[in-house]
Amino acid sequence: MNAMLLKLKEAGLKLTPQRMAIVREIADDLTHPTAQELFERLRPAFPTMSFATVYNTLDSLSRLGLVASLRLGGAKDGATTRFDPNTTPHHHAVCDACGKVVDLPAAHPTPASHKNEIEMTSGFNVRVEERTYRGLCAGCSKEKSLI
């Protein structure tokens, strides 16, 4: 069985058809879909499923650490939450033009000295660092250069 489903079960949560469908839909999706997008993909198979169910399930998954929820802001849809099954530490690149989000390996972790310096200066106890690179994705860069 899918690892996410197994974890849901272990956590005492019920494996309803809706949940199994949502998990199947997001488990290998690296495009950072929104709740809206998932809902629309599932609608054909579950015409009666509600948004609340999609949000509830995504909330359970993110509570269990099985998906990450991101608010990457930028452009108009800055308020939209995106979901990412990749829960290992990594950064994101967001396209200013089309809103596309891609994962970047966390190849350059913040040096301890830097984190320490931030803690010294700000008094913060830093837990995580989030980096977002904004610019134009390959496709949109090409379009722009043709204008």
List interacting residues with DNA (CB under 7 A): 9, 12-19, 34-36, 46, 48-53, 55-57, 59-60, 71, 76-77, 79-81
Using the rule CB under 8 A, is 135 a contact of its own copies?
Answer: yes
Tokens standing for 141?
């860069």
Out of 73, 89, 109, 143, the residue judged to bind its own copies by CB under 8 A: 73
Least CB distance to its own copies at residue 75 (A): 10
Out of 71, 98, 109, 143, the residue judged to bind its own copies by CB under 8 A: 71
Task: Candidates 18-26, 36-44, 57-65, 103-111: pick the segment binding its own copies (CB under 8 A).
Answer: 103-111
The partner residues of 80 in beta bridges, in order of sequence, read none
- Tell me the C-alpha to C-alpha distance, in Å, between residue 126 and each of 54, 110, 116, 121: 32, 11, 9, 12
> Footprint of its own copies on residues 9-38 (CB under 8 A)?
none
Using the rule CB under 8 A, is 107 a contact of its own copies?
Answer: yes
Using the rule CB under 8 A, is 108 a contact of its own copies?
Answer: yes
* Residue 6 touches which of DNA, its own copies, none (Cβ within 5-8 Å per kind): none
CB atoms within 10 A of CB 102: 15
Least CB distance to DNA at residue 51 (A): 5
Query: Exposure string (b/e) for 28-57, b if CB count within 10 Å is 16 or more?
Result: ebeebbbbebbbeebeeeeeebeeebbeeb
Cα torsion 17, 23, 28, 34: sign = positive
- Tell me the C-alpha to C-alpha distance, in Å, between residue 124 and each of 89, 90, 92, 116, 121: 20, 22, 24, 10, 8
Nearer to DNA, 47 or 111 (CB): 47
